Amino acid sequence: MTQPLLIENARIIDPASGMDHRGAVLIENGLIADLSTGGPVGVPDGAEVVNAKGLVLAPGLIDMRVFTGEPGKEYRETLASAGQAAAAGGITSFVVMPDTTPPVDDGALVDFLLRRAKATSAVNILPAAAITKGLEGKDMTEFGLLKEAGAVCLSDGRKSIQSTALLRTAFSYAANYDMTIVHHLCDTDLAGNGVMNEGLFATILGLMGIPIEAETIPLARDLQLALLTDVRYHAAQISTAYSVELVAAAKKRSKRITCGVSINNLALNENDIGRYRTFFKLSTPLRCEDERQAVIDGLRNGTIDTIHSDHDPQDVEVKRQPFAEASDGAIGLETLLAAALRLVHSDDVDIKTILRAMTSRPAEILGLDSGRIAKGAPADVILFDLDYPWQVTETQIRSRSRNTSFEGARLAGKVMRTIVGGQTVFSHETETAT
C-alpha cells in the first residue's frame, strides 16, 4: 500500500457537488478516504501532509479527445509520452481515439491498448473503438465485443461518417449495448478542398474555405437520428453559433444528447492563422470571433457539455508544408487547463463551469466513477495554482511532437501536482528542481 496523503488548506472545487470551499482531503488506498471543509480530519500514521495553501484542489481532468501514434506512428506519440504530457497538464484520464495504424476496430486492439497503457502510462487511458471497420465509413464494427474488451465509447475519430443509412443503423445498434457514439462532424463533400474557415480571411490568404454548413448539416442529421434511435450521442466538437442552437433544441427532447468543444475553438480564432501558420490548421477549423463568442455562450449556458484538448501530435515533416498541404492537428494535453483558464481570467466563464466541462460532465457521459471529489471516489485529483504565470516554450513540451498552437503563449494557471489513483504522477516542484 502507498503512503496515505493528506492535502490541507486547499480551495476544493468539486463541480459535481457544487462545492467551492477551503478544506482538506485524505487519500488512502487509491481512494478519497475523507473530505472535510471545517472539522478535523484524522491523520493516519505515516501520512504525507501537504499544505496546499493558495492552491485549488479539483478532480483530475478527463479529456475526451486525444490522438496518439501508438500503434503505428510511435515517432509522433506513444501512450507513454502522451501519458507524461497528460500528467503534466493535470489530465488523469483521457480517451484515446482509434485513428492509429492499424485502426482500433477490433477487440484484440482494445485489449492491446489497455495492456500497453497499463504497462507504460501512469494516467488512465480509455480506448474509443471505431464505429466502422478500418474507419472507412462502410461496415460496422463489433460493438458488443468492443464493449466487452473495454472500449469506453465508439468513435471514428477524425473521420466523419457520410452515409445517413449507416449512421442510423450504427446509432440504433449502439443504443442496443448502451454505448455512447462520439461523432466528428464534417460533410466532406461540402468541405471539398477547404482548408480553413470560409470567409474574408480565407479569401485574402487565397485558401479554400470550409463553410460552417459543413458542420451544421451533418449535426442536424445526427441529432435527428439520435432522437429517432434514442442512442447516447455526443457531438465530438462543435464550433458555430448555429450548432449551439441545434444542440440546445435537441437537448430539450433527449437527455442522451451531449456535445463537446475543442479548447482550440474556445481559445483561438481564424486570425491566429496569421500568415499560413500550419499549427493552426485544424479539423474542426478555427472560426471567426463571432462564432467563438457563441461557443463560449454555449458553454456558459450548459449547451456544451465538455471541453477537450483535441491533442493531435503531428511531426515536422507533415506540418512544415504549405498550409493547404499540411496535416491538420495540434497538441494540447499540457496546455488544456491553462488555456481554459484564460476564459476564467477574462471573466467569460466561471471556474466551476470550466472545470465541470473537463471533470464531472465527461465522467457522466463516459460512465466513469472519477471526475469528482467525494468520499469513496477514485483519488484522481489535481492541485493547481490558478494564477501561476508561465510561457509555453518548445523545450518544455513532453509530447513527442511539437505542434502546439500555444507556442510562445503566456498563460496563467499551472498544475502543481497530479495524483492518479492516489499516486503522484506529476509534481511541479520535482520537475523544476531537476
Partner 1 sequence: MAQSRSSKASSAAAGSTGDYPPFSQRHLLSIADLQPYEIIDLLDRAEKMVPISRQERKSHPTLAGKTQINLFFESSTRTQGSFEIAGKRLGALVMNMAVKTSSLSKGETLIDTAATLNAMRPDVIVVRHSAAGAVELLSQKVGCAVINAGDGAHEHPTQALLDALTIRRQKGRISGLTVAICGDIANSRVVRSNLLLLGALNVRTRVIAPRNLLPAGIEHLATEVFTDMRKGLEGADVVMMLRLQHERATGRMIPSVREYYRFYGLDAEKLAFAKPDAIVMHPGPMNRGVEIDPAIADGPAAVITEQVEMGVAVRMAVLDALLPAGDNTP
Residues taking part in catalysis = 310
The residue count for binding partner 1 (CB under 8 A) is 21
What is the smallest separation between the CB atom of 383 and partner 1, expressed in angstroms? 41
**In terms of CB distance, is 242 or 276 closer to partner 1?**
276
CA dist., res. 124 & res. 420, Å (int): 8
When binding is defined by CB under 8 A, the residue of 2, 162, 169, 321 that contacts partner 1 is 321
When binding is defined by CB under 8 A, the residue of 20, 47, 272, 276 that contacts partner 1 is 276
153-155 and 124-129 strand pairing: parallel
What are the C-alpha distances in Å from 272 to residues 262, 314, 389, 424? 15, 19, 21, 36
What are the C-alpha distances in Å from 168 to residues 96, 117, 176, 180? 24, 33, 13, 14
When binding is defined by CB under 8 A, the residue of 18, 42, 102, 322 that contacts partner 1 is 322
40 belongs to the binding site for partner 1 (CB under 8 A): no
Task: Select from 312, 321, 324 the least CA-distant residue to 404.
Answer: 312
Q: Which stretch binds partner 1 (CB under 8 A): 100-108, 193-201, 220-228, 263-271?
A: 193-201
Q: Which stretch binds partner 1 (CB under 8 A): 87-95, 219-227, 319-327, 382-390?
A: 319-327
Task: Select from 265, 268, 259, 283 the least CA-distant residue to 357.
Answer: 259
What is the smallest separation between the CB atom of 209 and partner 1, expressed in angstroms? 6
190 belongs to the binding site for partner 1 (CB under 8 A): no
**In terms of CB distance, is 270 or 310 closer to partner 1?**
270
Instruction: Provide the strand spans (E) within 327-422.
Output: 381-391, 410-420
Sign of the dihedral defined by the CA atoms of residues 375, 381, 385, 386, in that order: negative
Task: Select from 112, 114, 109, 117 the least CA-distant residue to 81.
Answer: 117
**In terms of CB distance, is 134 or 199 closer to partner 1?**
199
Give the other-Cβ count within 10 Å of 315's Cβ. Answer: 17
279 belongs to the binding site for partner 1 (CB under 8 A): no
Q: Which residue has the cell 503505428?
A: 72
289 belongs to the binding site for partner 1 (CB under 8 A): no
165 belongs to the binding site for partner 1 (CB under 8 A): no
Site string for partner 1, 196-225 (x = CB under 8 A): --xxxxxxxxxxxx----------------
Interface residues toward partner 1, by CB under 8 A? 198-209, 275-276, 317, 320-325
